[in-house]
Structure 1
Amino acid sequence: MSTVNERVETVLPDTGTREWWALYLLAPVVLVGLGILAFPTLVYDRFIWQYLWGPVVADAASQPVTHEGIRAVSGYNAVNTVTYLAAVGYSLPGLRAYLDQLDVTFDARLAYGFAPIIVAGGAMRALEDIGILGDYAVLFITPSIYLVVTAVTVLALGVGARARDRGLVSIPQVVGAVGTVWAIGAVGWAFLYGATSPAPLRLWVPVATTGIALGVTGLYYWGAGVIDVASLRHPLFLLAVFGQTWDGAQNLIGVTFLGYSPKLVVTQFVYRATGFSGSTFVLKLLVTGGIVWYLADAKPEMNRTWWWLMTFFIGAIGLPMGVRGSLRMMLGV
C-alpha cells in the first residue's frame, strides 16, 4: 500500500460510521462550493442564482430581481424542480443510514419530540408572511425553510445521540428541547408583534382553531374506543388527526369568517365546486380518517421504520400549516 493511500485511510472514517454518512450528505455542498470558486459565472450566476437562489430572493422581494445582469423571477421552474427532486433522492439514503448509525428508535416519543420543531417551522413561515424577518426572510420561504428545518433536526438528532451515548438524556428529550425553545421564541415573536401593531389582534383565532383540533381529536379517541379498535388510539394517529384537523380548522375559520380562500389547488377546486366554506375541513377529515384506518390495518405487515415515517408525515404536513394559518389570521395578514 502506498504512503498516499495510508494517509487517506487514516483521515477518512470507515464506511458505515456516522462520520462517513455525514460526509456523504455534505459531499454535494463541497462540490458546489468548489465549482463556485473555479467557475463563479457559470456555476453561481448562470445556475444557482438564475434558477435556484434567485427565485427565492424574488419571492422574498415580491418582484423579479437582478444579479450581474441576470434576471430571476419567483416560483418553480424546470431546473429547480429537477434539482430539488434530485437532492431529495440523493439525500434520503444518506439520512436513513445516518439515523440507523445514530441508532434512533422510531417511536411515539421521537414523534412528539419532533412536533415542536415542526410548529416552529410553521411559525417562522408566518413571520416571513408578516414581513419582519428582514434579510433572513429568504431562509424561511419554500423551499429554503425545508432545508433549515431539516438541518436543525439532523443537528439536534446528532447532539441527542451523543448525549444519550454518554448517559445524559435521550434523543427525544434533546430534539424536543431544541424545538420547544425555537417554537416559543417564534410564536412569542408573533404575539409581541401583534400586541405592538396598530392592527387588531384576533386572539380568538388560534383559540378557536386549536380548540376545534383538540375537540375533533378527542372525539376520534372516544370513537376508537367505542368501536373497540385499540390500534386506532396509537399516539402517532392522534398526532396525525390533530395536525390535519388544525390545518382544516384554520381553513374553516378563515374562509367562513375572515374572507380568506383555500391556497392549495385541490382545496381550491373542492371549494369552488361545492361553494361550501367547510369543504376543506370535511375533506381533511375524510382523507385523514381513511389513511389512518389503512395504516392501522397495514401496520403488522409494513416495515416498522417506513410505517413510522408515513404515519408521522401525515401529522407533520398539517401541523405547520395550521400554525402558519392561525398566526397569519390572528395578525390580519
Structure 2
Amino acid sequence: MATVAERVGADPERLWGGSVAAILAILVGGWLAFPELVYDRFIWHYFWGPVQADANSAVCAVRTNGVTQYLDSAQACAAAPEPVAYPGYTLVSEVGYMVTLLVALSGLVFLLRRLDIGTERRFFYALLPFMFFGGALRVVEDANDTPGATDALISYPWNTLVISPIIYFTVFGITLAAVLASVTADRAGLVDGYEKPLFGIGTGVLALTLGYFVSLVVTGAPGVEFYPQVLVATLVGATLSAGATWWLIERFAPQINAGTGFIGFVIIWGHAVDGVANVIGLDWMPALNAGRNLVPKHPVNQFVVDVTSNVLPASVLAVTGDTWPFLIIKLAAATFVVWVFEEGIFEESPRYSILLLVAVLAVGLGPGTRDMLRATFGV
C-alpha cells in the first residue's frame, strides 16, 4: 500500500516538517486572533493550566481576563467560572500528548536516518541510563513538595521542567543533546563509536540526580529519609520475578523472544521494577521498617488497588496486600509486547523498532524508578 508521501509525491521529511509547521501556525494564529478561545479555553485549560496548578501545589488554577489565580479549596474550585485547571491529565490532554509522541517519534526516525544511527541494538542499551534518569528526575519534584526540602533550590516556574508532562520534553531534550554530542565526537575522531560516550553522559546525569538525593539525606532535609532496604528489596524482587518470567518463556514458549533477544528480558525487567516498586511502596513499607505506605500517584495503580480491595476478603488482603495484581499485569503486558516484536519487524524498520522498544521500556522503567526512589527516600 502506498504511503501518503508517495501518493502526493512529496519527500517524507518535508511532508512531516510542513505538517508540523502548519499545526503550529494554526495554533499561534488562533492564539493571536482569539486569545481567550484558543489559549485560555484550550491550550491553557487542558495543557498548561494543570502544570501551573501542580507546580504551585494548588487544588486548581483559574484563568480570568488573562490572569491566572491559584485556589487551595475544592469548594472554591467548584464554584469558580471556567476555565478551571486541575493538576493531572484530562482525556483531551492525553490524546494531545499521544499525538505529540507519535509525531515526535516520526521526526526522530528522520533525524536518526540523517545521522545514520539507530539501527543497532547497542543504541537501545546506550539509552538505558536516560530511562533511569527520567524517573529519578521526576522524584526531584516529589521531593520539592516536601516542606522545606528543596524550596530554595527549585521553585516556580523552573519546577515545571520536572513536572509531568513537561518533564518528558526536558528528558527528551537532554537525551537528544547527548546523542548529538556523542555522534559529533565520534565523527570528529575523538571517540571510537558514539554509544560509549552516550551511555557515559546518561550515567553522569543519573549520578548527579542521585547525588542530589544523597545530599538531602546528608543535610537532614525535612521529610526526606533513606531506606536502603527498600531499594535492595525492589531490585531483587524485580530481578527474581523477571528471571522467572524469562525462564518460563525460554522453557515453554521460546518463540516469544525470538525477535527481541536479550532486549526482551530488559523490557520485562524494567516493567517488573515498576510492579515490585508499587507493591512495596503501597503495601510493604511498614513491614520493611521503612515508614508508612505511600499513596498511589498513577490512576492505573489506584484502579488496581480499588478493584483488588473490593474483590478479595479482608482476611486475604491482610496477608497479601491489595497491590500485587499490578505486578502480574506488568509482567503479562511486557511479555505480550516482547512477543509482538518478531524478527520481521526489525528487518523492515530497524530504527522505528528500536525507538518503539525504547518507548516501551521507558513507560515501565521510568515510573518504576520514580516509585522505587520515592519509597527509598520516603517522599
Alignment of 1:95-106 (within 5 A): 95-106=108-119
User: Shift of the alpha carbon at 1:324?
Assistant: 0.7
Question: What TM-score, normalized by structure 1, do the two folds share?
Answer: 0.79
- TM-score, normalised with respect to structure 2: 0.70
Which shows bigger deviation, 153-162 or 143-152? Answer: 153-162
**Does the 8 Å CA contact 2:230/2:280 hold for their aligned counterparts?**
yes
Q: What secondary structure sits across from 1:279 in the alignment?
A: helix
Letter in 2 for 1:166: A
1:189 alignment partner in structure 2: 212
| Distance in 2 separating the partners of 1:180 and 1:105 | 19
The match for 2:305 is 271
Alpha carbons of 1:28 and 1:154: their partners in 2 closer, same or farther (altered >3 Å)? farther
- The amino acid across from 1:207 in the alignment is V
Deviation by residue 1:81-103 (Cα, 9 ceiling, x = unmatched): 56545544543432211111011
- Letter of the structure 1 residue corresponding to residue 155 of structure 2: G
The CA distance in 2 between the partners of 1:216 and 1:166, in whole Å, is: 44
Q: How far did 1:21 drift? A: 11
CA contact under 8 A between 2:118 and 2:354: conserved in structure 1?
no
Counterpart amino acid of 1:109?
A: R
Higher helix proportion: 1
Moved more, 272-281 or 75-84: 75-84
Matched to 2:232, the amino acid is V
Cα separation, 2, equivalents of 1:105 and 1:232: 17
> Structure 1 residue aligned with 2:341, among 295, 307, 311?
295
* Superposition map of 1:166-177 within 5 A: 166-169=188-191, 170-177=193-200
The aligned runs of 1:247-266 (5 Å cut-off) are: 247-258=274-285, 259-260=293-294, 262-266=296-300
State the shift of 1:297 in Å.
6.8
**Among 146, 149, 155, the residue aligned to 1:134:** 155
2:172 to 150, 158, 167: 150
Measured after TM superposition, the shift of residue 328 of structure 1 is 1.0
Cα separation, partners in 2 of 1:85 and 1:327, compared to 1, 3 Å: closer
Question: What residue is the counterpart of 1:121 in the other structure?
Answer: 134
Which has the higher mean CA deviation after the structures are superposed, 244-253 or 60-69?
A: 60-69
Matches within 5 A, 1:1-333: 48-63=43-58, 64-65=60-61, 68-71=66-69, 73-74=85-86, 75-77=88-90, 80-81=93-94, 83-131=96-144, 132=150, 133-135=154-156, 136-169=158-191, 170-195=193-218, 196-197=220-221, 199=223, 200-223=225-248, 226=251, 229=254, 231=258, 234-258=261-285, 259-260=293-294, 262-275=296-309, 276-296=322-342, 299=345, 303-333=349-379
Change (3 A) 1:182 1:46: same
Could you list the runs of 5+ residues in structure 2 that have no partner in the other structure?
1-10, 70-83, 145-149, 286-292, 310-321
Tell me, in whole angstroms, the C-alpha distance in 2 between the residues paired with 1:316 and 1:155: 18
* Percent identical: 28
Query: Is contact 2:260–2:338 with CA below 8 Å preserved after alignment?
Result: no
2:127 counterpart SS class = helix
Compared CA separation, residues 38 and 280, structure 1 to 2 (3 A) = closer
Unaligned regions of 5+ residues in structure 1, if any? Answer: 1-14
In structure 2, give the amino acid aligned to 1:120. Answer: F
| Equivalent residues, number | 317
